[in-house]
């Protein structure tokens, strides 16, 4: 097991430097795998939001935007690449900090740090490519006119992010918004902010112009809410719960401020009877037990063809028993703790409600016996589920999968779409045409075929229905932070000639 590092004591990152919160308050940092308090983070309030937004506004318009918002994309790309390089240099200490803060297995946080660096690199490329896309002509039906397009940064953006992939979810917003030329105020989750604060330290090291990125930690109600309603914030991008998403959209609506929302999910995984059972079981496990199921796209509803259901569940239980559940710093850990006591209690409540509604806890459902402290929950498999049960309808955000059987393809699709959410869906079958049909029939923004969860920075990410709207990642992620301006020019020497000219006399 790696030695725990000391937890850096940071301030709020505003205007290029550290600053104590106006009210001087701090919040404890809890390691959920040990329940120990291991440090603290600043607790920003509306006073700090004012200062951070002012710093971002100033950075947006300083020197007419010459050094950032109107600079060539290549200038911004240099900073994004420098950040990526620092993330790579510090990969293992960042992974360790994030594991201590969130309970995620070290192998997962290491992979996440690689994704963080790759995301900064990717948007550096897109920032450069943006220069070539400027002034693209629009063809008009009148030759007296010429028109072209400018893609401009939307302004100051508020980025409010969750704890499940603390630095990665922040990066999905920070990298494209800075690539676009926006300046930003990031508000990470109070449950896991350590690595986002380290991003502030990295911004200092690479000499990012002051105020381009500001990072304020604190509670949602105290720091997130004033950010989402701030009149000088031009857009809010949010990932988190559907309830908080509604609040943010309501606050933003008062100023007709655009929002993009990446919210909860209850995504299905459909398994047909023509599959290699063990391969399919492993994807089903990855879809719900990776990151202890605290994934918005987790495939938490398993739909099994009745012909293979029994055999599949036997193998699923056998594989689940084999998962290494341990302190997330231990080598080979595949299931750490969940993020907090609150989340732990919430998951246990979901399991007890399922039981009292008549479902069967086929496997798991409790604290692993060998772990006395920490917010650990066994991988949990729930059967005998009806479509009116809470466990079928609501997002658990824990290592809990519920199972139903189906007979026909159309029944599978109907069950899969029986949800208010629409983030992701997955199908496993050897019949490629069937997979194609199902990928069209699922009401979701993401479909995985013969897998669940692999995520690539190049491909669009986001949902439908109550999973939100807007797409992150890929070129869509950049468009989120750009506005499109048309510039139309009259280029004839002739007068317009609509009104009659008065006589000259």
Of 180 and 298, nearer to ligand NAI (C-beta) is 298
- DSSP-derived letter for residue 251 is H
The CA angle 76-78-80, to the nearest 5 degrees, is 70
Q: Binding string, 268-297, against ligand NAI, x = CB under 6 A? A: ----------------------------x-
Instruction: Give Dmax (Cα) for the chain.
Output: 102
Confirm or reject binding of residue 326 to ligand ALG (CB under 6 A): no
Q: Tokens for 409?
A: 């393809």
Of 238 and 283, nearer to ligand NAI (C-beta) is 238
Q: Identify the CA nearest to 13 among candidates 170, 120, 125.
A: 170
Residues 194-233 that bind ligand NAI (CB under 6 A): 220-221, 224-225, 228
CA pair distance 293, 103, nearest whole angstrom: 12
- CA atoms within 13 A of residue 447's CA, in its CB half-sphere: 17
Confirm or reject binding of residue 488 to ligand NAI (CB under 6 A): no
Q: How many CB atoms lie within 10 A of CB 497?
A: 8
Residues 348-407 that bind ligand NAI (CB under 6 A): 395, 397
Which residue's beta carbon is nearest to the bound ligand NAI? Answer: 220
One of 122, 165, 238, 272 touching ligand ALG (CB under 6 A): 165
Contact 7, 97 (CB under 8 A): yes
Closest distance to ligand ALG from the beta carbon of 102 (Å) = 13
- DSSP-derived letter for residue 396 is -
Catalytic: 262? yes
Active-site position among 108, 198, 262, 472: 262
Of 69 and 452, nearer to ligand ALG (C-beta) is 452
* SS3 label, residue 92: helix
Of 109 and 228, nearer to ligand ALG (C-beta) is 109
**For residue 499, what are the contacts with CB-CB under 8 A and spacing of at least 6?**
none
Q: Looking at the DSSP assignment, which residues form a beta bridge with residue 479?
A: none
Read off φ and ψ for residue 380, nearest 5 degrees. Answer: -125, 130
Following CA atoms 94, 100, 105, 107 in sequence, which dihedral angle do they give, to the nearest 10 degrees? 20
Closest distance to ligand ALG from the beta carbon of 161 (Å) = 10
Of 84 and 413, nearer to ligand ALG (C-beta) is 84
Query: Binding partner of residue 264 among ligand ALG, Na ion, ligand NAI, none, CB under 5 to 8 Å per kind?
Result: ligand NAI
With contacts defined by CB under 6 A, name the span among 77-85, 294-302, 413-421, 444-452 that binds ligand ALG: 294-302
Confirm or reject binding of residue 244 to ligand ALG (CB under 6 A): no
Looking up tokens 């914030």, which residue turns up? Answer: 233
Confirm or reject binding of residue 289 to ligand ALG (CB under 6 A): no
Q: Are strands 156-160 and 183-187 parallel, antiparallel or unpaired?
A: parallel
Q: Tokens for 290?
A: 């990776």
Chain center to CA of 257? 20
Query: Binding partner of residue 297 among Na ion, ligand ALG, ligand NAI, none, CB under 5 to 8 Å per kind?
Result: ligand ALG
Confirm or reject binding of residue 455 to ligand ALG (CB under 6 A): yes
One of 295, 320, 427, 473 touching ligand ALG (CB under 6 A): 295
Query: Binding partner of residue 152 among ligand ALG, Na ion, ligand NAI, none, CB under 5 to 8 Å per kind?
Result: none
Confirm or reject binding of residue 457 to ligand ALG (CB under 6 A): no
Query: Binding partner of residue 240 among ligand NAI, Na ion, ligand ALG, none, CB under 5 to 8 Å per kind?
Result: ligand NAI
Contact 1, 336 (CB under 8 A): no
**For residue 22, what are the contacts with CB-CB under 8 A and spacing of at least 6?**
44, 45, 47, 48, 51
Contact 15, 210 (CB under 8 A): yes
Q: Are strands 156-160 and 235-239 parallel, antiparallel or unpaired?
A: parallel
Query: Binding partner of residue 374 among ligand ALG, Na ion, ligand NAI, none, CB under 5 to 8 Å per kind?
Result: none
Closest distance to ligand NAI from the beta carbon of 174 (Å) = 14
Following CA atoms 367, 164, 1, 368 in sequence, which dihedral angle do they give, to the nearest 10 degrees? 10
Binding interface with ligand NAI (CB under 6 A): 160-164, 187-191, 220-221, 224-225, 228, 239-241, 244, 247-248, 263-264, 296, 343, 346, 395, 397
Q: Tell me which residues are annotated as active site.
A: 262
Binding interface with ligand ALG (CB under 6 A): 115, 164-165, 168, 239, 262, 295-297, 453, 455
């Amino acid at each position: 097991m790696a030695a725990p590092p000391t937890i850096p004591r940071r301030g709020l990152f505003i205007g290029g430097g550290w600053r104590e919160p106006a009210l001087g308050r701090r919040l404890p940092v809890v390691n959920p795998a040990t329940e120990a308090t291991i440090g603290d983070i600043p607790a920003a309030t509306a006073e700090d939001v004012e200062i951070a937004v002012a710093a971002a506004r100033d950075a947006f318009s300083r020197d007419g935007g010459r050094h950032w918002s109107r600079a060539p994309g290549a200038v911004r790309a240099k900073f994004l690449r420098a950040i990526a390089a620092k993330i790579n240099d510090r990969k293992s200490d960042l992974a360790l900090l994030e594991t201590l803060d969130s309970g995620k297995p070290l192998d997962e946080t290491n992979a996440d740090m690689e994704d963080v660096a790759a995301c900064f690199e990717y948007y550096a490329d897109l920032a450069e490519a943006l220069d070539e896309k400027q002034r693209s002509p629009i063809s008009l039906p009148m030759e007296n006119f010429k028109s072209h397009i400018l893609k401009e940064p939307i302004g100051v953006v508020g980025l409010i992010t969750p704890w499940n992939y603390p630095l990665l979810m922040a990066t999905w917003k920070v990298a494209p918004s800075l690539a676009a030329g926006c300046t930003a105020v990031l508000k990470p989750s109070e449950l896991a902010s350590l690595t986002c604060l380290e991003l502030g330290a990295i911004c200092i090291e690479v000499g990012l112009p002051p105020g381009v990125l500001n990072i304020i930690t604190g509670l949602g109600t105290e720091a997130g809410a004033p950010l989402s309603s701030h009149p000088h914030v031009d857009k809010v991008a949010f990932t988190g719960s559907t309830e908080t998403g509604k609040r943010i959209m309501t606050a933003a609506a008062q100023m007709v401020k655009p929002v993009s929302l990446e919210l909860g999910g209850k995504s299905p995984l459909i398994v047909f009877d023509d599959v290699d059972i063990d391969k399919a079981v492993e994807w089903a496990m990855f879809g719900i037990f990776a990151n202890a199921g605290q994934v918005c796209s987790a495939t938490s509803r398993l739909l099994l063809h009745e012909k293979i259901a029994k055999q599949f569940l036997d193998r699923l239980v056998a594989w689940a028993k084999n998962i290494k559940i341990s302190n997330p710093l231990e080598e080979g850990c595949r299931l750490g703790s969940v993020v907090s006591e609150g989340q732990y209690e919430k998951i246990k409540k979901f399991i007890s409600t399922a039981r009292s509604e008549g479902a069967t806890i086929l496997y798991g459902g409790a604290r692993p016996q060998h772990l006395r402290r920490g917010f650990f929950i066994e991988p949990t498999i729930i059967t005998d589920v009806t479509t009116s049960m809470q466990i079928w309808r609501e997002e658990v955000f824990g290592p809990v999968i519920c199972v139903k059987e189906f007979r026909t393809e159309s029944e599978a699709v109907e069950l899969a779409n029986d949800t208010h959410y629409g983030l992701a869906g997955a199908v496993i079958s050897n019949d490629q045409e069937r997979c194609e049909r199902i990928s069209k029939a699922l009401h979701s923004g993401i479909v995985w075929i013969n897998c669940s969860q692999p995520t690539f920075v190049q491909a669009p990410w986001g949902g439908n229905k109550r999973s939100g709207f807007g797409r992150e990642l890929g070129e869509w992620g950049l468009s989120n932070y750009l506005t499109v301006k048309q510039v139309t020019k009259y280029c004839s020497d002739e007068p317009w000639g609509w009104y009659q000219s008065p006589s000259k006399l």
